[in-house]
Structure formats: C-alpha cells, structure tokens
C-alpha cells in the first residue's frame, strides 16, 4: 500500500516509517519540521535500505496537501502530526487548537477530496482523564482532560467519529497510546526533545549523560505502592508495530475502531529509575518534589482488545525500554544535533 505519514520525521512517526518500509509499503511523509530534523529521513533510509518521499509541508496548508495528494495516490493516512507539550498547551491553547484541530480538519478535507478515506490517528490515554477504572479498557468513559493538548486529542476523536458516521466510506482507527519510551535498537533513532524534557524517560537519560544534575520525582504521596506515579510505558518499536496491525484492519474495511496500545503493566517512577540503573549501569540521583499540576496517580491499560482483534501485543519489557533509551542517548548525547 502507499501510506501518507504526517509527522513522519518525529519520534513515533519515524519508528513507524521504519516498520512500514521494512514490510514493503510505499511511504510518503509530510512534516513541517517544527519538532523534527530533516536528517531523520537519511537515517531511516539507511536503517531500512529503502527510500521514501518527503515533503516539508504543514497540515494546515491546503494547497501544499493538495500538491502532495495530486502527486501520490495514497491508500491510507497515518496521522502523527501535532503539537504535544502539555505545559505549553496550557499557556498557548489557541496554538494547540489551531495546529492540532484546524490542521486535522484541513487534512481530512484534503484526504476526502482525493478519495482517501482511511486514517489511523495518534490519540492518547490522556482522553480518559482521571480514569474511572484501572486497568483502563476502551469501554472506560472518556474523562475531563486537564489541559488543552488533552482536549485537542479528545475533540479530534469526536471529529473523526462524526466524519465516519456521516460517511461510511471512511475507516478510522483511533489508537490511544499509553507512555511511549525507548528507541530504535540500532541506537540511531530516538526521542530528541527541545529544551528541558517534560517527560520522565528523556529526563532520566539526560541525568545519566550528565546534562542534568538530578531527577525531580513529582510527588511520593500518591495512593500507589511506593507513593510515586504509576504509568504504562511502552517501547516505541512495539507502538510502531501496532500501526502496522491497524493498517491490516483498515484494509479489511473496519469502520470506526478504538484501541489502547499499552503493555497492561504499570511501573512507578522509582521502579523506572531502578530499571534504568540496572539496564545502564548508571546511578540516577533524584529528589522528591511536590506533585506536578494535572498529574494522576495511576494509569495503565487493559490491552486485551488490541491482542484479540488486531493480533497485536507489546513484546518488549521495561528493561529493553530502558536499555534502548540509554543506547540512543549515550550514542547521541545531543540527540540529532
Ligand atoms: P513528535 O513531536 O516527535 O512528532 C510530531 C511530528 O509532527 C514532528 O515531527 C513535528 O515536526 C510534526 N508536526 C507538528 N505539527 C505539524 C503540522 N502542523 N504540520 C506538519 N507537521 C507537523 O511527537 P511524537 O511523540 O512522535 O508524537 C506523535 C503523535 O502521537 C502526536 O500526535 C502526539 O500527540 C501523539 N502522542 C504522543 C505521545 C507521547 O508521549 N510521545 C503519547 C500519546 C500520543
Ligand atoms: N515524572 C517525574 N519527573 C519528571 C517527569 C515525570 O516524576 O521529571 C513523573 C510524572 O509525575 C508521572 C510519570 O513520571 O508520574 C510520567 O510522566 P510523563 O510526563 O513522562 O508522562 P505522563 O503520563 O504525564 O504523560 C504522557 C504524555 C502525555 C500523554 C500521556 C499518555 O506527556 O502527552 O503520557 O499517553 F497524554
């Protein structure tokens, strides 16, 4: 199949492009490079031994999208492009709604006009808010999001569902990612955050490499076994493979489907630190800090639906996630710079 990948030079997108090329799909990537580097294209091509087309294009640019879609008859779109910094979204909500929501509406109109009505969307466990049940199944009601980024995902799920309801030619797969970490086992691709990392694993790896003095642990008084927040970390390569399975579902005209992509196992912040130390051999100094606004105690998935219906199951455990995050960071202390 020929797949349009938006945001395909970003962290999850680039790992997914590797998996798509590895099994013989043709890939067309668009990315506005707001949070990625052009050299990722060369690295992906080097790792896979295959070429793909890349356009520096913004999903809000209808003319640009039309040019790409005129040049390539694509069968499906995997839509990663979006802004994702939770704190920034609180400070600049309109930037997030414009980029993520207006951008996606624009993309859907362009796809529809070119008769591509198949889309896989990067959603997030954040749509569950403070979840009503643990582990979280897809039946769990969506909740109150604590920031505009989260709302943009929740609203986009609604927009995509409404689009499919109005026109049954659409096939829409909403993938709710839990916490992606890890990197390509080659150590040549990984997460490369700008500035001070917001997320746990990139912060830990930057402490390990000596860029930051110590990790701040945001709260140790949650109702969890050791008091620190519990999350469902998932290896980015497993996550990428989930998109391949979603593509199989799309090619069988699945209609509208929603899947959690997680491992089903939660780890606390301190357990992640311990596993990272074991995998890397590097000690991570940390300090207990106040809770971070908007955080919840526990979030982990019930991934049974994806296993049953897509035949997808995460293969890597926390040790491999830590090992590969460290492999990437230690081989590339300054990321893609
Ligand atoms: P990322 O920032 O590494 O990748 C997103 C890519 O989209 C970047 O390359 C960026 O340059 C591009 N982009 C952003 N806005 C664009 C626009 N208007 N037009 C074209 N390109 C644009 O992020 P990621 O971690 O790879 O996340 C991919 C998707 O998955 C995002 O939609 C994100 O919200 C979602 N998601 C991520 C996580 C996570 O923890 N990483 C969790 C749940 C969901
Ligand atoms: N944490 C720390 N110190 C840090 C960073 C994080 O203690 O420096 C803790 C948090 O308090 C939380 C856990 O580590 O308990 C994980 O935090 P992350 O920021 O890595 O991840 P979140 O679960 O808060 O959120 C992430 C993404 C969201 C996404 C969500 C679910 O940032 O965008 O996963 O997919 F919606």
- Whether the CB of 12 sits within 6 Å of ligand 1: yes
Residue 26 gets which letter from DSSP?
E
Predicted pLDDT at 257: 98
Q: How far is the CA of 151 from the centre of ligand 1 (A)?
A: 15
Predicted pLDDT at 304: 98
Query: Which tokens sit at 250?
Result: 């799309």
Predicted pLDDT at 276: 98
pLDDT band at 61 (very low <50, low <70, confident <90, very high): very high
- pLDDT by residue (tens digit) across 124-142? 999 999 999 999 999 999 9
Mutate to test the pocket of ligand 2, among 80, 215, 269 (most ligand atoms within 8 A of CB): 269
- Whether the CB of 292 sits within 6 Å of ligand 2: yes
Predicted pLDDT at 161: 98
Query: Which ligand is nearest the CA of 181, by number?
Result: 1
Q: How far is the CA of 37 from the centre of ligand 1 (A)?
A: 13
Query: Which ligand is nearest the CA of 5, by number?
Result: 1
Closest CA to 258 of 127, 101, 147: 127
Give the C-alpha separation, 336 to 287, whole Å: 29
Q: Kindly tell me the burial class for residue 194, based on how many C-beta atoms sit within 10 Å of its own C-beta (0-12, 13-18, 19 or more).
A: exposed
- Whether the CB of 192 sits within 6 Å of ligand 1: no
Residue 244 φ then ψ, to 5°: -65, -40
- Whether the CB of 174 sits within 6 Å of ligand 1: no
Give the C-alpha separation, 206 to 114, whole Å: 44
Residue 292 gets which letter from DSSP?
P
Residue 215 half-sphere exposure toward CB, CA atoms < 13 A: 26
Q: How far is the CA of 273 from the centre of ligand 2 (A)?
A: 14
- Whether the CB of 242 sits within 6 Å of ligand 1: no
- pLDDT by residue (tens digit) across 130-180? 999 999 999 999 999 999 999 999 999 999 999 999 999 999 999 999 999
Residue of the CA atom closest to atom 22 of ligand 1 = 81
DSSP codes joined into one string, 130-155: S-SSSSBPTTSPP---SSHHHHHHHH
**Whole-number average pLDDT of the chain:** 98
Yes or no: say if 12 and 234 are a contact pair by the CB < 8 Å rule.
no
The number of the ligand 1 atom at minimal distance from the alpha carbon of 123 is 44
Query: Which tokens sit at 230?
Result: 């519990």
Yes or no: say if 245 and 168 are a contact pair by the CB < 8 Å rule.
no
- Whether the CB of 217 sits within 6 Å of ligand 2: yes
Predicted pLDDT at 82: 98
Strands (E), the chain: 2-6, 26-31, 53-56, 76-79, 118-124, 171-177, 179-181, 215-218, 230-231, 233-235, 256-261, 267-268, 286-289, 298-299
Closest CA to 39 of 26, 23, 24, 54: 54
The number of the ligand 1 atom at minimal distance from the alpha carbon of 36 is 9
267 a catalytic residue: no
Predicted pLDDT at 21: 98
CA end-to-end distance (rounded Å), the chain: 33
- pLDDT by residue (tens digit) across 240-280? 999 999 999 999 999 999 999 999 999 999 999 999 999 99
Residue of the CA atom closest to atom 21 of ligand 1 = 31
The number of the ligand 1 atom at minimal distance from the alpha carbon of 34 is 11
Predicted pLDDT at 186: 98
Predicted pLDDT at 119: 98
Catalytic residue among 149, 177, 259, 300: 149
Yes or no: say if 62 and 227 are a contact pair by the CB < 8 Å rule.
no
- Whether the CB of 200 sits within 6 Å of ligand 2: yes
Query: Which ligand is nearest the CA of 296, by number?
Result: 2
Predicted pLDDT at 97: 98
β-pair type (267-268, 230-231): antiparallel
- Average pLDDT of the segment spanning 219-245: 98
DSSP codes joined into one string, 242-285: HHHHHHHHHHTT--EEEEEES-S--EEHHHHHHHHHHHH-----
Give the C-alpha separation, 267 to 68, whole Å: 42
Yes or no: say if 2 and 28 are a contact pair by the CB < 8 Å rule.
yes
Predicted pLDDT at 185: 98
- pLDDT by residue (tens digit) across 13-40? 999 999 999 999 999 999 999 999 999 9
Predicted pLDDT at 245: 98
Q: How far is the CA of 199 from the centre of ligand 2 (A)?
A: 5
- pLDDT by residue (tens digit) across 68-110? 999 999 999 999 999 999 999 999 999 999 999 999 999 999 9
Predicted pLDDT at 253: 96
- Whether the CB of 184 sits within 6 Å of ligand 2: no
pLDDT band at 319 (very low <50, low <70, confident <90, very high): very high
Place of tokens 């897809």: 138
- pLDDT by residue (tens digit) across 281-316? 999 999 999 999 999 999 999 999 999 999 999 999
């Amino acid at each position: 199949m020929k797949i349009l990948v938006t945001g395909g030079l970003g962290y999850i997108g680039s790992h997914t492009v590797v998996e798509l090329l590895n099994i013989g799909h043709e890939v067309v990537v668009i990315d506005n490079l707001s949070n990625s580097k052009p050299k990722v294209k060369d690295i992906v091509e080097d790792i896979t031994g295959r070429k793909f087309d890349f356009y520096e294009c913004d999903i809000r640019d209808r003319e640009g999208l039309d040019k790409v879609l005129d040049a390539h008859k694509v069968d499906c779109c995997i839509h990663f492009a979006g802004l994702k910094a939770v704190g920034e979204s609180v400070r600049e909500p309109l930037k997030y709604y414009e980029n993520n929501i207006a951008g996606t509406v624009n993309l859907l109109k362009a796809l529809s006009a070119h008769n591509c009505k198949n889309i896989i969307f990067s959603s997030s466990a954040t749509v569950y808010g403070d979840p009503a049940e643990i582990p979280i199944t897809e039946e769990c009601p969506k909740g109150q999001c604590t920031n505009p980024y989260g709302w943009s995902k929740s609203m986009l799920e609604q927009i995509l569902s409404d689009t499919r309801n109005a026109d049954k030619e659409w096939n829409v797969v909403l993938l709710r990612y839990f916490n992606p970490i890890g990197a390509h086992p080659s150590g040549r691709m990984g997460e490369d955050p700008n500035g001070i990392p917001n997320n746990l694993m990139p912060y830990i790896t930057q402490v390990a490499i000596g860029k930051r003095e110590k990790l701040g642990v945001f709260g140790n008084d949650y109702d969890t076994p050791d008091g620190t927040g519990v999350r469902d970390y998932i290896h980015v390569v497993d996550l990428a493979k989930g998109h391949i399975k979603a593509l199989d579902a799309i090619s069988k005209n699945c209609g509208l489907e929603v899947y959690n992509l997680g491992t089903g196992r939660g780890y606390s912040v301190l357990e992640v630190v311990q596993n990272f130390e074991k995998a890397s051999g590097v000690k991570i100094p940390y300090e207990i800090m106040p809770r971070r606004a908007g955080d919840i105690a526990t979030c982990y998935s019930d991934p049974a639906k994806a296993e049953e219906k897509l035949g997808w199951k995460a293969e890597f455990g926390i040790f491999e996630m830590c090992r590969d995050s460290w492999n990437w960071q230690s081989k590339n202390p300054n990321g893609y710079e």
